[in-house]
């Protein structure tokens, strides 16, 4: 049977190696490893959005160039390091955060993940 009705099955994970929230300097720095795995049919991914969710704050992030468009075959995985250093308008006092990642596949299905991590506060 052809793969017309098969769908991608995507899983994402994020391991923060360095996540610092400096309240007085009003900066945050998030460094870690982002992984995306496909256990379904081949997927062409685009329309990628990333942001940090901390408490009630939503902080948009610049999507790294290598993550803007992806092609993942069945059983393939994509891993890479990501790093953001941002200066905020107001201090961030949250102890934990989530990396929100969303993208659309070739069938226009939207995939969303909220990947938690913990801030080191200074």
Residue 3 has pLDDT above 70, yes or no: no
Residue 53 lies in a domain: yes
The DSSP code for 119 is: P
Residue 122 lies in a domain: no
Residue 112 lies in a domain: yes
Which residue segment(s) compose the domain that 104 sits in?
8-117
Residue 31 lies in a domain: yes
Q: For 11-67, what is each residue's pLDDT tens digit?
A: 999 999 999 999 999 999 999 999 999 998 899 999 999 999 998 999 999 999 999
Q: Point out which residues pair with 104 in neighbouring strands.
A: 46, 110
Secondary structure of residue 52 in the 3-state scheme: strand
Residue 110 lies in a domain: yes
The residue behind tokens 């496909």 is 38
Residue (of 112, 109, 77) closest to 6 by Cα position: 109
Domain of 87, CATH number, reads 2.60.40.1470
Considering the entire predicted model, what is its pTM? Answer: 0.90
Residue 47 lies in a domain: yes
* Cα 57 to chain centroid, rounded: 16
Q: How far apart are CA 70 and CA 58, in angstroms?
A: 25
Q: How far apart are CA 82 and CA 73, in angstroms?
A: 22
Residue 2 lies in a domain: no
Residue 1 lies in a domain: no
The DSSP code for 65 is: G
The total number of structural domains in the chain stands at 1
Q: How far apart are CA 62 and CA 119, in angstroms?
A: 19
């Amino acid at each position: 049977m052809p793969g017309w009705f098969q769908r991608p099955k995507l899983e994402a994970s994020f391991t923060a190696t360095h996540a610092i929230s400096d309240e007085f300097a009003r900066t945050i720095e998030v460094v870690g490893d982002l992984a995306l795995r496909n256990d379904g049919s081949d997927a062409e991914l685009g329309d990628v959005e990333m942001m940090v969710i901390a408490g009630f704050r939503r902080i948009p992030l610049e999507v790294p160039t290598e993550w803007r468009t992806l092609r993942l075959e069945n059983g393939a995985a994509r891993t890479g390091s990501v790093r953001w250093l941002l200066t905020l308008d107001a201090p961030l006092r949250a102890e934990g955060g989530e990396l929100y990642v969303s993208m659309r596949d070739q069938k226009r299905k939207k995939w969303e993940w909220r990947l938690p991590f913990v801030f080191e506060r200074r």
